[in-house]
Structure 1
Amino acid sequence: MKNKYPVTRYYGVPVSYDKSGNYIFEEGVKVHAWRNGKHTKGKFQGLGQLFLTENNLLVAIVGFEKMKFKDRHTLAPFERFTKESVPKELLERFSREDFK
């Protein structure tokens, strides 16, 4: 099938800003999963990178894994990667168990 593309599941946490303009996670925030789509713009650079969902929600990537092309419809795709990322100290709040 020539229209196949690599699909990756990205685990992410919505972020917001504090009064100083720094990225923060809201209290009680949970990890959710999205996937890249055929028309997702940008490139994945690493954990902590931010992406925008189709509803303009800003999300920090805290984990990722490859997924099968045929399973892609189980998750919503996101719009695009940004070139920004959150500090590594913020990422340390999440562990692999949070992704289940």
Structure 2
Amino acid sequence: MDGQAVRGLEAEALRTGRTLAEHSQDLRGIKAQQRAAFGNIDSLADAIGAPGDRSFTQRLDSIEGELGDVKRLLRALARAQGLDPDAE
């Protein structure tokens, strides 16, 4: 193998090393984001109800239902005051 081929292989090895290091750093960032997201989900689940009380999906469904109730109440109040809640 001549010197030019060796230098080419060395350059390719350096590029591969940099690429692997970049991917490794990206992976660390993704893992940190996942930890933060799951921590936020756990905090939200704890705020909604006691852990183990209901599944997270059941808790979210409950919140969604309550928000729907509030929305209907606000629409009714607007109509009672002579306002059209659907007007923009």
Question: Is the structural similarity TM-score above 0.5?
Answer: no
Q: Which has the higher contact order (CA 8 A, sep 6+)?
A: 1
Larger strand proportion of the pair: 1
TM-score where L is the length of structure 1: 0.20
Larger helix proportion of the pair: 2
TM-score where L is the length of structure 2: 0.22
Larger radius of gyration: 2
